Amino acid sequence: MSNEKTNPLSVFLNGLWKENPVFVLLLGMCPTLAVTGDLASSLTMGLSATFVLFCSNVVVSLIRSLLKPHIRILMFTLTISTFVTIVDLILKAYLPEMSAKLGPYIPLIIVNCLIICRAEACASKQKLGIAVLDALGMGLGFTLTLSALGIVREILSYGTVLGFAIAPEGSLSIFGFALPVGAFITLGFMLGIVNIINRKKAKE
């Protein structure tokens, strides 16, 4: 793994499929399950997380020589919570409805394992450039995965995409998919599908 990390393009592409944060590394599950009821909130969540991931990776990479092992997690969380406060304030100012809808899940980006994992596994060891690429790749992978989940759940539960109806009204309204149950089960089956694809690839 460490050899591939030196190649910039593979670092970026890593997060999209091979080490996709949600499907492969199983990180950041809480927002993945909680806010993917529809596509709009999935996108907001994904982009907010990407912004925080990017900023914190940059800062952690810059201060990596000063980090002491036993207080590193504290340093990471303090850095991250600063940027999350910024995102939270921005959302409150410009997207108040979305901010109210996402509720405590925006502040919970602070304890999103994906961001801490990238700070620990990548930014605290690598140079700035690699850390930036890693953050962008992982953030994009996270956003895309959340959106995929959001689309599936929005279609199945309301028959809409981003609020636009794509199926005749009432024909698709399996309400369970908007509830916690739907989140767990959809993600479970999506992971199953990813497993099948990966196994086929491995055989070839």
Partner 1 sequence: MELLQTLILSFLSIVIVNNLVFSKFLGICPYLGVSGRLDMAFGMGMAVTFVVTLSGTMTWLIDNFILMPMNIEVMRYVCFILVIAGAVQLVEMYVRKFFPTLYESFGIFLALITTNCAILGLCLFLHLWGVSNFLNALVLSFGSGVGFTMAICIMAGIRENLDLADVPESLKGAPITLITAGILSLAFMGFNGMIK
Q: Is 63 in the site for partner 1 (CB under 8 A)?
A: no
Other Cβ atoms closer than 10 A to 187: 21
Q: Is 111 in the site for partner 1 (CB under 8 A)?
A: yes
- Shortest distance (Å) from residue 188 CB to partner 1: 4
C-alpha pair distances (Å), 177 with each of 36, 46, 117, 161, 186: 10, 20, 30, 14, 8
- Shortest distance (Å) from residue 133 CB to partner 1: 24
Token pair for residue 90?
A: 């921005």
Q: Is 89 in the site for partner 1 (CB under 8 A)?
A: yes
Q: Is 180 in the site for partner 1 (CB under 8 A)?
A: yes
Residue with tokens 């055989």: 203
Among 26, 47, 144, 172, binds partner 1 (CB under 8 A): 26
Distance of alpha carbon 21 from alpha carbon 187, whole angstroms? 13
Q: Is 145 in the site for partner 1 (CB under 8 A)?
A: no
Q: Is 27 in the site for partner 1 (CB under 8 A)?
A: yes
Distance of alpha carbon 122 from alpha carbon 58, whole angstroms? 11
Task: Judge whether 142 and 49 are in contact, CB under 8 Å.
Answer: yes
Among 62, 63, 74, 162, binds partner 1 (CB under 8 A): 74
For partner 1, which is the closer residue by CB, 26 or 167?
26
**Residue length of the chain:** 204
Q: Is 3 exposed, middle or buried (0-12, 13-18, 19+ CB in 10 A)?
A: exposed
Q: Is 121 in the site for partner 1 (CB under 8 A)?
A: no
Q: Is 182 in the site for partner 1 (CB under 8 A)?
A: yes
Which positions touch partner 1 (CB under 8 A)?
Answer: 26-27, 29-31, 33-34, 73-74, 77-78, 81-82, 84-85, 88-89, 103-104, 107-108, 110-113, 116, 176, 179-185, 187-189, 191-193, 195-196, 199
